[in-house]
Structures are given as structure tokens and as C-alpha cells.
Amino acid sequence: MSVIVYYTSITATAELERQQNGIKDMLEALKIPHKLMDLSQDETLLGEMRKKTGNPKALPPQVFYGDQYCGDYAAFANAMEYEKVEEFFKAQCQQKQ
């Protein structure tokens, strides 16, 4: 099982692009296997992402470990602030299984 990030390649704001790139860059830096799901390429992915988060208004980026929800960008930023990024992607997500 690997980390799945729901994101969009068509961003409306520079802030959204920065958030998405921050998550993707950290996954690559930590060499954590991941899959990127581009909401702009498949219209069914937005509904799938929102259903999995349990939030009908959830916006990208959203992070999962398999089908287990890890969090959004705010949760990721919090993990960065407390130097717990690797745990956010690995241990935190795995514990929720």
C-alpha cells in the first residue's frame, strides 16, 4: 500500500499550487512510494475524494494511505511544524488502518 494524494493540475491560486507541491516534494524527498490522483483528469475523482474524507466540501490536496485518510494540507503543515512529516505519511496513516 502506498500514499495517495488527490490534487489538481489546474490550480486557481498560487497558494494551492504551493501546498500541492509542498506535499509532493516532501514525498519525493523522503522516498515514500506514492500515487498522484489528478482531479482535473477524471471528474469522478472529486466525489471519490470527498466521500473518503467524509467532507462533501473537501478540496485538494488530500492525503490517504490506501483508503485510510491521513489529512489535508493543514494537517501536513502541522506535521512539518512539529517535525513529524515522515510520521504523517507513514506511521500516522498506518495507525488509522
Can you give the CATH number for the domain in which 36 is found? 3.40.30.10
Hey, which bits of 3-94 come out as E strands? Answer: 3-7, 34-38, 62-65, 68-72
3-state DSSP assignment of residue 94: helix
Looking at residue 89, what is its pLDDT? 79
Task: Name which of 28, 34, 36, 37 is nearest 2 in CA terms.
Answer: 34
- Could you list the residue range(s) of the whole structural domain that residue 36 is in? 3-95
Low-confidence ranges of the chain (pLDDT < 50): 93, 96-97
Looking at residue 91, its pLDDT comes to 52
The model's pTM is 0.87
Q: How many domains does the chain have?
A: 1
In angstroms, the CA 26 to CA 86 distance is 9
